[in-house]
Amino acid sequence: MRGTAILAFALAAIAALAAPSLTAFSSMKPGALAGAWREARIARIKPNEYSLVSDEGVTVLRVRSEGAAGTVAHPADADPRATPMLSWRWKIDSVVTKADMTHKSGDDYAARVYVFFDVPLDDLSFGQRMRILMARALYGDEVPSGALCYVWDNRQPVGTMSPNPYTERVRMIVLESGATRVGQWVTEQRDVGQDYVQAFARPAGAPVPRVIGIGAGADTDQTSESVTAWFGDFRLSPRS
């Protein structure tokens, strides 16, 4: 994925007001994407296909990616000190066999989930600030200044954290790896506050920026492979 385009994914939220909670796919009927979820496309890259489908009687998001990329995003306004726990479930039909997250040419994933943050510009280097300001001039003030990206990878060990090969403002975190659980629903829960501190090497106890959006999608434009991913409801909640 391209660096500016990755952070511009949250532009899908422009058309909807920030919401205190994340619209549940299970609350909608199968069919076209609806509610506060919006598709964000990347210029000159084939878009994924998105739809709401019934799976075991529950409506979920289905993402079909055939040499394509993109995401659907939902606006948020969440304080990680109060609601840091992000939970969801996901399923894939295959891994992206030729992917390699350590290189730009292999930056593809069967499924990925973004958490977008409103990082204060004062926390960024001069060069990073200039890139964000230019992106906002082009795409709007909603372009986030940082993100975590949780991925279902094909080869890297679970727990791997690394900068995205296109932009250091996105940190990749491998939650699932390989084909062992292909075809199975897998439930995830992450403390996005703790992950942010670790991924961006912030001092212990340092404030974590507000969460301004959640995104879900798949990515096969580099390898030209085909995958299908499914996502259940997303939820932000306090630590138990």
Residue 133: predicted pLDDT:
46
Residue 17: predicted pLDDT:
39
35-52: per-residue pLDDT in tens? Answer: 889 887 777 889 999 999
pLDDT band at 140 (very low <50, low <70, confident <90, very high): very low
Residue 12: pLDDT over 50? no
Would the CA dihedral through 164, 210, 159, 59 be positive or negative? negative
Please enumerate in sequence order all residues whose Cβ is within 8 A of that of 206, keeping only pairs 6 or more positions apart, or say none: 197
Residue 16: predicted pLDDT:
39
Looking at per-residue pLDDT, the higher value among 22 and 41 belongs to 22
57-67: per-residue pLDDT in tens? Answer: 999 999 999 99
Q: What superfamily would CATH give domain 3-237?
A: Galactose-binding domain-like (2.60.120.260)
Distances (CA, A) of 39 to 51, 202, 224: 11, 31, 21
Residue 221: predicted pLDDT:
95
The DSSP call for residue 2 is -
Do 221 and 108 contact (CB within 8 A), yes or no? yes
Would the CA dihedral through 230, 233, 234, 240 be positive or negative? negative
Each domain of the chain, given as residue ranges in start order, spans: 3-237
85-94: per-residue pLDDT in tens? Answer: 999 999 999 9
Residue 11: pLDDT over 50? no
pLDDT band at 31 (very low <50, low <70, confident <90, very high): very high
Residue 138: predicted pLDDT:
42
Residue 104: pLDDT over 80? yes
